[in-house]
Chains A and B, each alone.
Chain A
Amino acid sequence: MTTDTLKYYFDCWENFNSCFAYRAPFQERFTNAILALAEQNRDHQQQGLNRKASFMLVECFQNIIKHSESMEINDLTTSDGGMFSFKFLDSNFLINSINVIKNSDIEKLTAQIEQVNALDKEALKEHYMKHLQNNTLSEKGGAGLGLIELARKSGEKILYKFNHIDSDVSQFHQQITFKKESDTPADFTKFLEDNDSYYASMKDRHIFLQYKGDFTQKAILPILLLTEQRYNANLDEKEKTKRAKHIIIEILQNIVRVTKGEEEELQKPTLILGKHDDHLYVMAGNVVSESKKEILTEKLDYLLSLEDEELAELHRKTIKASIQFENKESTGLGLIQVVRSGIEKIKYKFYPLDNNKFLFAISIKF
């Protein structure tokens, strides 16, 4: 995985204020992490969107969990188990999910969605009340209530499709849309169609998490939790994941924040995490000015020119010298840490953008 991968997604997401995608396997305990990641975003904090967006996220994610739990383990390979994603696009909010379902469930699910999509606001409310009273729980405990609630909260049709996998199972694609202005003519059906290629590109590149958005302190712990899940129990992988997590902290706290400034409004920072052939990859990118590009290039080229022992010595010297700084001045420890971290030299590149700005992209292998 190279920095070009990051540039590719940076271009793909140009029109999104922020976005997130995570590939299966999923666990119930991720619900809070994904919610926290969405809620710390400034886009989420728009009036009228926040509570609904949170509700819809939880409902969609837990629907996937419910469906996954009902599948046999053999049906859910780690590479084909699905994807969960959300996007903020202007003032609109989209949730796309892909999960595997049994072919024998398709007919019932289609009928439920079609029924919900055919109802207007009042009829949906009535339908919801009727279901609540009848309490006709399905085997999965859903009673279709989740779908009705999603339709009520979003105020838009539930978009969906099925992709046949084999004679037993299919992929179920779903898109929930929330438009800030309900009469906006914007058509978001293309995102349901695009989801196939998007999912395929993540699989081909062995990416399990992508995030573009605000990186407040509250974003760090959810990202660490979602990373932890990717390692197996053996110590070697645990150690790699620990190193990767450590560097994710440094990248989010130092590189993303140090480089933020007036450019922040142009495009938000991005983070991509991948795993391939027992190696973890961390890629991060941010838009910087020409002057910041020069400073970073000088620092990184110097650090990359040093041998491991020289870097270790520089790290020790910098820690020793740091107590002479009375206040919060940056000591450069974070950048040294990042350069020392991978199993091979880190890769970085600046991609020219408009208005004398650059995309600063960095890639580290563990």
Chain B
Amino acid sequence: MKSNSLHIAATDDTPEVNFSLVSGKSSILGRSLPENAYEFYRPIISWLNSNIHLIKHKNELELSFDYFNSSSSRYLFEMLNILERSPNRQLITVKWKVEKGDELMFEKAQELSSLLDLNFQIEQE
């Protein structure tokens, strides 16, 4: 039986990933600079595609990155794109937390959010 939640622990160059679409609390936190972003993100994207129908109530995806490399941004966009295509996308909030003064991550968060029709909250704290 497929699990309805996903947990991947952080490593030196990949973030901690938690998806729980039933409880409505998911997060991707840390740094994302894997050598092979495809290998890291493909199983997550596949899990998300298979489980996106589980979104029935309010869902929050928290994002917070120290760094992410350009190939990670591509897969991050792909994940967010799956959320955007969900028929229940109005139930989803993407809360992107940026360290105060981290203009680079702020710019990147703004750039990705501008490409998607999702409820984004970019918070500098």
Contact = CB atoms under 8 A, between A and B. Distances in A.
Bind each other: yes
Contacts of A220: 13, 33
Contacts of A235: 101
Contacts of B73: 319, 333
A337 B77 CA distance: 16
Given A217-B35, A246-B67, A337-B70, A239 B104 contact: yes
A154 to B, nearest CB: 32
Contacts of B67: 245-246, 249
Main DSSP-derived SS at the B contact region:
helix
Interface stretch (A116-124, A204-212, A322-330): A322-330
A242 interface: yes
A125 interface: no
A280 to B, nearest CB: 13
A320 B70 contact: no
A341 to B, nearest CB: 9
A322 to B, nearest CB: 4
A320 B115 contact: yes
B70 A334 contact: yes
Interface in A233-264: 235, 238-239, 242-243, 245-246, 249-250, 253-254
Interface residues of A, number: 29
A77 B108 CA distance: 38
Contact of A253 (B12, B69, B74, B103): B69
Interface in B7-63: 12-13, 33-36, 38
A239 B69 CA distance: 17
B12 A221 contact: yes
A228 to B, nearest CB: 11
Contacts of B102: 239, 242
B6 interface: no
A140 interface: no
Interface of B: 12-13, 33-36, 38, 67, 69-71, 73-74, 77-78, 81, 101-104, 111-112, 114-115
